[in-house]
Amino acid sequence: MTANLHAPTPTRNYSASVELHREASDVLAGGVNSNFRMGGQPAPLFFDRAEGPYLYDVDGNRYVDYVLGMGPNILGHAHPKVVQAVAGTLEKGVLYAGQHRDEVELALRFCAMVPCADQVRFGSSGSEMDQAALRMARAATGGRLVVKFEGHYHGWFDTILVSVHPPLDEAGPEEAPVPHLPTQGQSAAAAQDVAVLPWNDLGVVKRFLTQHAHETAALIMEPILCNTCVVMPAPGYLEGVRALCDRHGVVLIFDEVITGFRVAPGGAQELLGVTPDLAVYAKALGGGFPIAAVAGKRQYMELLGTGAVLHGGSYNTNLVSTAAALATLEELASDGGASYGQMEARGQRLIDGLRELGRRAELPLHVQGLPGAFNTCFTSEQGEPDITSYRDYARRTDAGLQRRLLKALQDQGVRVTSRGTWFMSTVHDEAQIDDTLAAAEAALAEVSAE
């Protein structure tokens, strides 16, 4: 570990961001274009440019970026191969509302990388492709209910925005959660077809399907729970769920919007060796450009193919996003996928380094997940076992300390998501890991001094 070049606390200036946010709030609702971008400290930051692992804000502050657009920029920002591919398409137009050669090329590459993909359909965002997967499952089975799990996120649409991070006093019994709708204006009728279960408990799934299989179309889950603390499935859990879905004729959907092309080229299903019936991909697929996919077994995908199930979208496979996705997958697969090994080695160094720094600072900093995507939070004591579910996370972690650490990291030039999730890219190198660990040392010292 390098000497801590970052102490004492630097005084960072965020005044241009604060001013722009004030100005923006007059014409943009909340000054932002996604509710998930609200709530920065001291304001949602405004950025000027990004390159490789770095992001630069309008006050001239530089950050080693572990947000990476909430995961998509797996090759870092403005990767030359992606930029070149996109630039190369611009003169050919952007949208044909018709087919082009590159989308076939992309489908071939995608299906070669993703285990469940006999066929694929591309769209523009994860939220909408989750809808397509649910629609196919209902059409295939005639079932009404979709089972989703507490703490998992499958996009912001009414039909599935249920019990993502419910307040514990509104969440109901642990084994039979009360579906929680997080936003005003949501259709309660749409959400009536969703049943919520705790994740990582096979007995609960077994009991539920014994009673409700006849009316259940699908189980949808993040196979690695990235939207809550990056929780791994318990040994045998995914295999058990797979077997139960087979036994009861229920469609198993993996939402690989975060894990796809990140935790392994084919996603969590490749890493963990369990193949779903359908899967949804987005984020890293496009290397920062808007593209998403639903893929799966032919018997389900054919429902789209025959037109029995409708899926549309004006911007689907626009030339720009298709070119970006092709370049991204090509780069990820190059050299036999060597960039994954390098990314993982550096991510692991960061995980180990952060754990060590937490111990030295005598703070209960808890780091869990995978080298390509991991989470930092504070538990009550050092060395506690990993968090295994949403309720475990909500009960055992200290949101106040988390917030202080994230602000201290930001002041030290390191940007991490507001949930404490760190995404790695293939271009974060040893020097940035050194800098990040030095910044984290200073940030932790600040947190423990407060």
Ligand X SMILES: Cc1ncc(COP(=O)(O)O)c(C=O)c1O
* CA-angle at 258, arms to 253 and 262, nearest 5°: 110
For residue 350 the two structure tokens come to 């960061």
DSSP strand pairing (421-423 vs 373-378): antiparallel
Interacting residue with ligand X among 103, 130, 277, 435 (CB under 6 A): 130
Burial class (CB in 10 A: 0-12, 13-18, 19+), 236: exposed
The one among 154, 180, 248, 391 contacting ligand X by CB under 6 A: 154
At its nearest, how many Å lie between ligand X and the CB of residue 257?
A: 4
Tell which one of 125, 275, 339, 426 touches ligand X (CB under 6 A): 125
Decide if 153 is catalytic.
Answer: yes
Pick from 241, 282, 326, 329 the residue near ligand X by CB under 6 A.
Answer: 282
Catalytic entry in 54, 277, 283, 393: 283
Q: How many Å is the Cα radius of gyration of the chain?
A: 22
Residue 322 found at the interface with ligand X (CB under 6 A): no
φ/ψ of 337, rounded to 5, equals 80, 25
Residue type, 77: H
Regarding 260 and contact with ligand X (CB under 6 A), the answer is: no
# chain residues binding ligand X, by CB under 6 A: 15
- Using the contact rule CB under 6 A, the part of the chain among 124-132, 169-177, 394-402, 441-449 near ligand X is 124-132
Minimum distance from CB of 281 to ligand X (Å)? 10
Minimum CB separation of residue 110 from ligand X in Å reads 17
Residue partners of 277: CB distance under 8 A and separation at least 6: 116, 137, 245, 251, 252, 253, 296, 297, 300
Name the DSSP letter for residue 227.
Answer: T
Q: Which of 255, 277, 411, 435 is catalytic?
A: 255
Per CB under 6 A, 150 contacts ligand X? no
Contacts of 289 by beta carbon, 8 Å cutoff, 6+ apart = 72, 82, 86, 320, 321, 324, 325
Determine whether 193 is an active site residue.
Answer: no
Return the closest-CA partner of residue 282 out of 61, 129, 77: 129
Closest-by-Cβ residue to ligand X is 126
Q: Which of 255, 270, 331, 446 binds ligand X (CB under 6 A)?
A: 255
CB of 182 to ligand X, least distance (A): 14
CA distance 421 to 375: 4
Does position 32 interact with ligand X (CB under 6 A)? The reply is: no
- The yes or no reply on residue 24 touching ligand X (CB under 6 A) is no
Choose, by CB under 6 A, the member of 17, 61, 73, 127 that binds ligand X: 127
Residue with smaller CB distance to ligand X, 221 or 427: 221
Buried b (16+ CB within 10 A) or exposed e, 243-260: ebbeebebbbbbbbbbbb
Q: Is 300 a catalytic residue?
A: no
Q: Could you tell me the two tokens for 129?
A: 């492709």
Binding site for ligand X (CB under 6 A): 70, 125-127, 130, 153-155, 222, 227, 255, 257-258, 282, 292
Catalytic annotation, residues: 153, 255, 283
